[in-house]
Amino acid sequence: MMIMNSLILFALAAAFPQDSVDGRYEGVMRMPMIDQTVVLDIDHGPKGEARGSIILPGLNVKGAPAAKVTVADGKVHWEFPDVLGGLVIESTLTNSGLDGEFKQGGNSATFHLERTGAAQVDLPPTPTPVSDDLVGTWKGEYTIGYLRHFTLVLKNEGGVAVADLTIEGKKVTKVPVDRIRDVGGYLTIQSAPFGMTIEGPHKKGVDEFKLTISYAGFDVPFMVHREKGGK
């Protein structure tokens, strides 16, 4: 039994050498009124640059890439300017994972994350144009708490898609869009500052299709239709 335990410990040490920070780290951040599951991934690119991403399932943050990651003397500094209005993480490598502190909007919370496996870093996808069939103005309605009117204007500029997104409920909100991809008949629109994703399949020549908006822990499907004269 002692030999078997030694072999297991040796295998774990080989898989996760203590002088390497690369890996996936998972745990729970203790916050007032709520415990938030956290997944951090970090690896190094072909030029040795540190890369990272974060998953916050309860806040609909799905693999948001870090704008900056620095590693020095066992400490890791992460910056996510497009997550929750700006998130900074200071962390220290330990024998079992990462200890550190989240800082966001003047608030902070400490955490311990266990190293659970190899890194699965989400890198920023290459932006694409949208198909000609999607260029124009699309409108729809959905309910999260109350009825909201959705207006999306899509166009291509400089070989990539740009969008103007407005959601009107109790007030009119211009939603910043920082990522648009239209690949294989599947549209994905993301607003990192809002933690919002809008996505769905579409077919050529249609004037109506289904989207799903993921926001604040909700996933709500709804239909959008092309505004007449909006192309």
pTM of the model: 0.59
pLDDT in tens, the chain (231 residues): 444 444 433 343 344 444 489 999 999 987 766 788 999 999 999 989 999 999 998 888 888 899 899 999 999 999 988 788 788 999 999 999 999 999 988 888 899 999 999 999 998 778 899 999 999 999 999 999 999 999 999 999 999 999 999 999 999 999 999 889 999 999 999 887 787 899 999 999 899 999 999 887 789 999 999 998 655
Which spans in 65-192 are helix H?
none
Predicted local confidence at residue 134, as pLDDT: 96
pLDDT of residue 105: 82
The Cα 191–Cα 175 span in angstroms is 7
Residue 105 CB neighbour total at 10 angstroms:
9
Question: Which phi and psi (to 5°) does residue 213 adopt?
Answer: -100, 130
Sequence-distant (6+) residues with CB within 8 A of 91 are: 40, 75, 76, 77, 78, 98, 99, 100, 101, 113
| Cβ atoms 7, 15 nearer than 8 A | no
Which domains, from first to last, does the chain contain? 2-117 (2.40.128), 132-226 (2.40.128.20)
